[in-house]
Amino acid sequence: MNISEQKAEFMINLMTAKVAELLAAKGGKSITASMSEFMTTKTFALLFLPGSYLYLESPEYILDMLEAERWLEV
């Protein structure tokens, strides 16, 4: 897949914002609190791994991954 670094960065930022919005709506938290929470997760780190292309998935898919990550920590 041939995606420029600039486009990948844009998509990562967009997915981060969209996932934070979903978290805020689902958990009744502010977007800022949800963003901070998301940015400390393994799922967020995976967004930045070259070749993962996670940023091409839907925000709902990424949120599902995040919820699975949380379930595994229990």
Q: For residue 29, what are the domain limits?
A: 5-73
Which CA distances in Å does 25 have to 6, 9, 17, 38, 50?
Answer: 29, 25, 12, 14, 29
- Determine the angle formed by the axes of helices 5-27 and 31-38, rounding to 10 degrees: 120
Q: Tell me the pLDDT tens digit for each residue of 9-64.
A: 999 999 999 999 999 999 999 999 999 999 999 999 999 887 899 999 999 999 99
Number of structural domains the chain divides into: 1
Kindly report the pTM of this predicted structure: 0.87
At residue 21, the pLDDT reads 97
At residue 15, the pLDDT reads 95
Q: What is the full DSSP assignment across 20-52?
A: HHHHHHHHT--HHHHHHHHTTSHHHHHHTSTTT
